[in-house]
A and B are shown apart, each in its own frame.
Chain A
Amino acid sequence: AQTVTQSQPEMSVQEAETVTLSCTYDTSENNYYLFWYKQPPSRQMILVIRQEAYKQQNATENRFSVNFQKAAKSFSLKISDSQLGDTAMYFCAFMSRPGGSQGNLIFGKGTKLSVKP
């Protein structure tokens, strides 16, 4: 069974600085998707970024980028120029991509990020 581990329960960063959130996963599959979701105090789950395992290029979305290391099964999220609105819980998630997959997301326990002014 796949598992997702986020080893940093809480992190803090000063506004405008850069922070990296860690995520490791365990799977025997070769094709899959990885996601980072943001959950602000409103509890809404918001997609931050998505990576397809067969793509070697790391995904980027504006100030958010990932460092995807397939061999090491590592998928870290880098937030540049941190803003107060980035304060939230961040969840790393794994999705299998075999034929006929139901698309079940496996979530880590989350990292609580606080951006300080």
Chain B
Amino acid sequence: NAGVTQTPKFRILKIGQSMTLQCAQDMNHNYMYWYRQDPGMGLKLIYYSVGAGITDKGEVPNGYNVSRSTTEYFPLRLELAAPSQTSVYFCASSPSGQETQYFGPGTRLLVL
């Protein structure tokens, strides 16, 4: 059972480039989340989804977009990367909005 997987593990982007962070879960969870963790800080919610075709903004959505066409996948798109988006990105999933969230291993992104 793979749980929540994320790719890539690490990426360097130049300012203005775009990329998609991939997230997949094999637990048939309805809820999926994207968080970012800045150095020395806790995680902050970027976007979340309560099911296929349904997404909504979290606390820090600017500069990001998401889509959820299937239950399994929840990619995060960065358009026009900026140094302020240098962070570690975590994807998580849970069966519902009131249960424990299970996290992926994270993607470390460096924007130079």
Q: Which A residues form the contact surface with B (CB < 8 A)?
A: 4, 33, 35, 37, 42-47, 50, 91, 93, 95, 97, 100-105, 107-110
Contacts and interface: CB of A to CB of B under 8 A. Distances in A.
Contacts of B83: none
A91 B97 contact: no
Contacts, number: 63
Nearest to B101: A105
Interface stretch (B15-23, B42-50, B74-82): B42-50
A45 to B, nearest CB: 4
B106 A104 contact: no
B98 A33 contact: yes
B40 interface: yes
A27 to B, nearest CB: 15
Interface of B: 31, 33, 35, 40-45, 48, 50, 56, 58-59, 88, 90, 92, 94, 96-103, 105-106, 108
A93 B50 CA distance: 20
Contacts of A44: 103, 105-106
Contacts of B90: 45
B44 A42 contact: no
Given A43-B88, A44-B106, A108 B97 contact: no
B31 A102 contact: yes
6 contacts: A35-B100, A42-B105, A45-B90, A91-B43, A103-B101, A108-B42
